[in-house]
Amino acid sequence: MPDRTKYVLDEREMPTAWYNVSPDLPKPLDPPLHPVTSEPMGPEDLAPLFPMGLIAQEVSQERYIDIPGEVLEIYKTYRPSPLVRAKNLEKALDTPAKIYFKYEGVSAAGSHKPNTAYAQAYYNKVEGTNKISTETGAGQWGSALAIACQHFDIECKVYMVRVSYEQKPYRRILMETYGASVTPSPSMETDAGKAVLADNPDSLGSLGIAISEAVEVALKNEDTHYSLGSVLNFVCLHQTVIGQEAITQMGVAEAEPDVVIGCVGGGSNFSGLAFPYYHRKKEEGLSTRFLAVEPKACPTLTAGDYRYDWGDEAKMAPQVVMYTLGHDFVPAGIHAGGLRYHGDAPMLSLLVKEGEIDAVALHQTEVFEGAVLFAQNEGILPAPEAAHAIQAAITEALDAKEKGEERTILFGLSGHGHFDLGAYDAYLKGELVDYDYAAGSRVEEE
């Protein structure tokens, strides 16, 4: 019955298919273009990087795609994730609004990222891939892919941005514990890395350089594929287990969200929560609002252009139509490292462009204020990325209070912040600095 605090489903109530928003988009997506020739790319152009199972999903127009049994089995070790009513936060805010959050911090990586990592490792395994290379900034994606590769007996090679490798050892240790081999990037293992080091032996690295190294390894080795933790259509697809579960859980709570909120880096956790609700809105004729929250230091959806751009700094990744700040944009070094990406998922970008989804940008000090209030009242220390969604939910709740309105708010809590205590320390000591987009300067990678 309603008015519970936690809505925990039985694993038998998990969705058995992913929801693909593609056929429900207001217009078709523009085709990806080859990074060098700018010709439209076909599936065969992507084959050196990804298994055909994932490429098929990238271009699929099927509304539902069955989750393979082996992926479902591993999902069941940590899913369904809990949906929680934030009653203590509601009380602290003295708001008439009801606040619910869907918590993805219960996975092996402490975030939503394993939802796609397991799926990607699975499709690689069935097509005989023995090795996967990838890049990671602070290590959130790397740790998700490491555990997934371990499960499916695939070698996992992670190029980790050097400054994080040196300054933030804990995620590196987690990746190694899960069986991955982690190399600081730039490295002497690739031509891309060697070129950078020849120029600057003390390079701190960047996500762009690390992507170039990981892609090069995949292109040069027949038995190796590349893996990406956000942005791509199939990544957003895999994350829709989040929203589908939330719909079932909110059903138990007899609650319909007026607004669905999530943080956006490349757009995958937000898409995973919002897309199933977008479908529901269309089907049921609801008036659900959607709110994507990004950092002011990297305001892709609120200040970027909607156009073709490369997915990476080195122009090795395909060109896609998306909101972008430019492939060579380097955001300031805010603590929400997972939100420092110049572009956004094409499907999400299109829905923002068409006015179906709203976006807002926040400064990190206000974000940490919300994070601490949430931690103190709900007993979960949020990832700085996820705290963007929290702060936006708090603003909604206070707005409802001011207007004396009832309002049902659902937000995605994409992960915990147990590896981000340095950021909390900086906040508590009053050392956090806010960056505006215009002031976005060249600072070292998270």
* Cα(170)–Cα(226) distance, integer angstroms: 24
Q: Is 319 in the site for ligand PLP (CB under 6 A)?
A: no
* Minimum CB distance to ligand PLP, residue 377 (Å): 20
Q: Which residue's CB is nearer to ligand PLP, number 206 or number 224?
A: 206
324 in contact with ligand PLP (CB under 6 A): no
274 near ligand PLP (CB under 6 A): no
Supply the minimum distance, in Å, between the C-beta of residue 43 and ligand PLP.
Answer: 23
Q: Which stretch binds ligand PLP (CB under 6 A): 155-163, 167-175, 185-193, 382-390?
A: 382-390
Half-sphere exposure of 32 (CA within 13 A, CB side): 24
Taking the complex as a whole, how short is the minimal distance between the CB of residue 239 and ligand PLP, in angstroms? Answer: 7
Give the integer Cα–Cα distance in Å for 330 and 222: 32
Q: Which residues pair with 290 in a beta bridge?
A: 260
Stretch 136-195 residues interacting with ligand PLP (CB under 6 A): 140
The token pair at 383 is 């990832």
Question: Per rule CB under 6 A, is residue 111 in the interface with ligand PLP?
Answer: yes
152 three-state secondary structure: coil
Tokens of 224: 């190796």
Q: How many helices (H) and strands (E) does the chain have?
A: 18, 15
* 414 near ligand PLP, judged by CB under 6 A: yes
Closest to ligand PLP by CB, 90 vs 309, is: 309
Sequence-ordered strand ranges (E) for 186-304: 224-226, 259-263, 289-295
Q: Taking contact as CB under 6 A, which single stretch among the options 147-155, 317-325, 383-391, 392-400 is the one that binds ligand PLP?
A: 383-391
Q: Choose between 124 and 300: whose C-beta lies nearer to ligand PLP.
A: 300
Strand partners, 319: 33, 310
User: Which residue among 267, 295, 299, 343 contacts ligand PLP (CB under 6 A)?
Assistant: 267
The single residue among 263, 293, 380, 432 that binds ligand PLP, judged by CB under 6 A, is: 263
Contact region with ligand PLP (CB under 6 A), list: 127-135, 247-255, 261-269, 307-315 = 261-269
Q: How is residue 33 written in tokens? A: 């273009």
Compare residues 110 and 193 and give the one whose CB is closer to ligand PLP. Answer: 110
* CB contact set of 208 (below 8 Å; sequence gap of 6+): 312, 313, 314
Q: What gap in Å lies between CA 302 and CA 300, rounded to an integer? A: 6
